Amino acid sequence: MSTVIEQPVEARLVAAAPRMPSIPAKLHYDRSDPFAVRMTFPAPATLEGVEVCWTFARDLLLAGLEGPEGHGDVRVRPYGYDRTVLEFHAPEGTAVVHVHSKDIRRFLGATSDLVPVGLEHLQLDLDHDLAELMRDA
């Protein structure tokens, strides 16, 4: 069984102009980091012209489907009946994207099949990680 899930999604960048261009993005989940998801935007879609990857809690994405969540760099909330808004806050500015909620639900369903919500801690080898920290100290 694969330990990584990647799912392309279409994100609509919310800008000052009325037109909202679509940008390809990718949701990523790795069983070795069971509490986190990543959302990656390709270089042409970013101001810096380099690929940008945001890492945030899987629980944040799950909760944000039902109501506003997040107080830090990443915030998630429902928008209408079929979209979810993700806000990414950085010193350079804020990016706001809309993603189809069904795509996020499908992604989260696949991650839950791989690592059920609430059982993420079973994927961690704390003894090994602690031994590595002590070895480096």
Q: Going along the chain, which residue ranges are E strands? A: 4-13, 22-30, 36-41, 52-57, 74-79, 83-90, 93-100
User: 35 and 59 in contact (C-beta within 8 Å)?
Assistant: yes
pLDDT tens-digit readout, 42-77 = 887 777 778 989 999 999 999 999 999 999 999 999
Distance of CA 12 to the CA centre of its chain: 15
pLDDT of residue 130: 62
Asked whether the predicted pLDDT for residue 18 surpasses 60, the reply is: no
Q: Nearest Cα to 117, choosing from 59, 63, 76?
A: 59
Read off the pLDDT band of 83 (50, 70, 90).
Answer: very high
Asked whether the predicted pLDDT for residue 29 surpasses 80, the reply is: yes
CB contact burial 15-41 (16+ within 10 A = b; e otherwise): eeeeeeeebebbbbbbeebbebbebbb
Placement of tokens 């919310």 in the chain: 14
Q: Could you tell me what percent of the chain has a pLDDT over 90? A: 47
pLDDT of residue 48: 75
Q: What is the mean pLDDT of the chain?
A: 85
pLDDT of residue 5: 86
Task: Look up the pTM and report it.
Answer: 0.81
